[in-house]
Amino acid sequence: MASPHQLPKEIANLHYEDLLPHNQQGYPVTREFLQKVIDILMDHVKDTNDRNCKILEFHHPEDMKKLLDLDIQDKGVTLQQLVQDCHTTLKYQVKTGHPRFFNQLSCGLDLVSMAGEWLTATANTNMFTYEIAPVFILMENVVMQHMREIIGWENGAGDSILAPGGSISNLYAFLAARHKMFPQYKEKGLSSIKGQLVMYTSNQCHYSVKSCASVCGLGTDHCVEVPSDELGRMIPSELERLILERKARGDIPFFVNCTAGTTVLGAFDPIEDIAAICQKYKCWMHVDAAWGGGLMLSKKYRHPRLTGIEKADSVTWNPHKLMGTLLQCSTIHFKEDGLLISCNQMSAEYLFMQDKLYDVRYDTGDKVIQCGRHNDIFKLWLQWRAKGDEGFEKHMDHLMEMSEYMVRRIKEQPDKFELMMEPELVNVSFWYIPTRLRGMEKSRERENLCGQIAPVLKSRMMQSGTLMVGYQPLDDRPNFFRNIISSAAVTHADIDFLLNEMDRLGHDL
């Protein structure tokens, strides 16, 4: 397979040693090579936004291995081969920014954010200290304060950090809560606490919350799953009952995770009711708004979903989801300043010296558990500069309006689609009904039959390459489709296409 991207003959067979910094005169060749890669990326941007291009060209792993040339050899390949490698990689990669990719919580390709990530790569710095990342550290301060203001903490007070994904953000919250309530724990460990620590979360929460219990030594048996209502929202009276139950045993309930936007259903736990219970029983309240947090940017949709979030002790909020920031970009915010450092500092004075030229309070290395930290701020800052708060509000309203439109269209075709519930967020859950089941009444039996065909319909989507929508079972519900609209590219026409295409691919199942 030839690439349309040929380097000039005199460069094509050169190798990495001919580039900077190995060849100090190598700037012209370096520039030509890099520009050729950029041309390929520009084509990918164009194709990603072209509805006539496929989302993917599916091959099974064993076949894909044959199509690709992935081997690492003793000797390096030529510059032309590297260009070809870039071309081939993108040819077989799934276009997650395509307007008909509805498959994940992170869809879309925000091009300003992408430009930001290109610059981040080129700057290639670590976020330890002001010394080596002065501009990015200041940007982090500005953006994190702005986000805390949006959460509703007075003047943006508190502290925040960017973490590699929502799961690690939730882990940060757990660690800070434990440290705040049991400060001896850091040195003495769990054995110094008399009584079993217990945490609570709804049975719809992200699995990373349960993972905290395993990682941090509680054990998943002591992460209590609170039942949720039919829309997937935690039932506060059940939370209280389960707290009392464990207290009666002599255990120590100390942490409640409240999900603002569950992974599958997009449900919002009732924050204010849960906050009251946390206050009553002196539990830390964490709000995992990794998914739904973006709605704080919309006056129209923030309430009642996120009402009361300012009562949280900590908040996870992932810009790489609803806000469309490039992967990855996750933030964790604390109402109390100073906790992050006192919790995570390991006194590595050989790394974070206090006798520096500048005000070392700007250094962040000692606040985090990662030590080295990727620069995840620039792509978010640049995107926010481009959009302003208004642009993000418009974006959120657009996503919600598209989801409302999709719900309306599904309801207009009750023979072909069964809406599972009215969504609170951009997760639209439904069953597709093939022709042979259209005579059947709505029932659990029909849902089971529709559930059986979901994997087949999904594989037809992937093989046709025209559409991607996720499906999964949930509790006692059989497989159903969960459509996500988190890409700015989605239009009314794309939603009409989505529903028609499912029917075209699946009617005979």
Q: Which of residues 188-227 bind a copy of itself (CB under 8 A)?
A: 188-192, 196, 206-208, 210-211, 213-222
CA 460 from chain centre, in angstroms, equals 26
Shortest Cβ distance from residue 323 to a copy of itself (Å)?
Answer: 13
Which amino acid is present at 213? Answer: A
Among candidate residues 182, 207, 177, 205, the one with its CA nearest the CA of residue 192 = 182
Q: How far apart are CA 436 and CA 507, in angstroms?
A: 8
Minimum distance between the CB of residue 147 and a copy of itself, rounded to whole angstroms?
Answer: 10
The interface with a copy of itself within residues 78-117 (CB under 8 A) comprises 81-82, 85-86, 89-90, 92-94, 96-97, 99, 103-104, 106, 108-109, 111-112, 114-115, 117
- The residue count for binding a copy of itself (CB under 8 A) is 165
Q: Residue 52, interface with a copy of itself (CB under 8 A)? A: no
| Nearest residue (CB) to a copy of itself, 51 versus 240 | 51
31 binds a copy of itself (CB under 8 A): yes
Q: For residue 70, state whether it binds a copy of itself (rule: CB under 8 A).
A: yes
Rule CB under 8 A: choose which of 4, 21, 250, 439 binds a copy of itself.
21
Considering only residues 387 to 416 of the shown chain, the ones binding a copy of itself according to CB under 8 A are 387-391
Spatial contact of 40 and 90, defined as CB atoms under 8 Å apart: yes
402 CB contacts (<8 Å, ≥6 apart)?
A: 426, 485, 490, 491, 492, 495
Burial 85-117 (b: 16+ CB within 10 A, else e): bbbbeeeeebbbbbbbbbbbbbbbbbbbbbbbb
498 binds a copy of itself (CB under 8 A): no
CB nearer to a copy of itself: give 375 or 403: 375
Task: Give the span between the Cα atoms of 15 and 359, in whole angstroms.
Answer: 44
**Range 236-295, binding a copy of itself (CB under 8 A):** 263-264
Identify whether the C-beta of residue 69 lies closer than 8 Å to the C-beta of residue 22: no
By CB under 8 A, is residue 175 in contact with a copy of itself?
yes
CB of 316 within 8 A of CB of 170?
yes
- Sequence length of the chain is 509
Q: Under rule CB under 8 A, which residues in 331-360 are in contact with a copy of itself?
A: 344, 346-351, 353, 355-359
Q: Does 143 bind a copy of itself (CB under 8 A)?
A: yes
Question: What x-and-dash track marks residues 297-326 binding a copy of itself by CB under 8 A?
Answer: -----------------------x-----x
Least separation in angstroms between residue 46's CB and a copy of itself is 6
Q: Which helix (H) or strand (E) holds 227?
A: none
The region, left, alpha or beta by phi > 0 then psi within -120 to 50, assigned to residue 111 is: alpha
CA-to-CA distance for 352 and 364, rounded, in angstroms? 9
Restricted to residues 407-466, the positions that interact with a copy of itself (CB under 8 A) are 455, 458-459, 462-463
Identity of the residue, 158 or 365, whose beta carbon is nearer to a copy of itself in the bound complex: 365
Name the residue nearer to a copy of itself (CB basis): 311 or 314.
Answer: 314
Question: 114 or 296: whose CB is closer to a copy of itself?
Answer: 114
Q: Shortest gap between Cβ of 501 and a copy of itself (angstroms)? A: 17
Q: Could you give the angle at which helices 134-151 and 378-411 cross, rounded to 10 degrees?
A: 40
> Does 44 help bind a copy of itself (rule: CB under 8 A)?
yes
- Complex with a copy of itself: residue 169 or 277, whichever CB lies closer: 169
Nearest residue to 316 via CA among 466, 220, 175: 175
What's the min distance (Å) between Cβ of 272 and a copy of itself?
27
Using the minimum distance from each CB to a copy of itself, give the nearer residue, 119 or 244. Answer: 119
The separation between CA 290 and the C-alpha centre of its own chain, rounded to angstroms, equals 7
Q: Which is nearer to a copy of itself, 244 or 348 (CB)?
A: 348
Instruction: Output 271 or 468, the one with its CB closest to a copy of itself.
Output: 468
Cβ neighbours for 96, distance < 8 A, ≥ 6 positions apart? 103, 104, 106, 107, 108, 109
148 interacts with a copy of itself by CB under 8 A: no
The correct pick among 54, 374, 409, 504 for binding a copy of itself (CB under 8 A) is 374
Q: Do residues 415 and 488 touch, judged by C-beta distance below 8 A?
A: no
Q: DSSP H helical segments within 125-165, as ranges?
A: 134-151
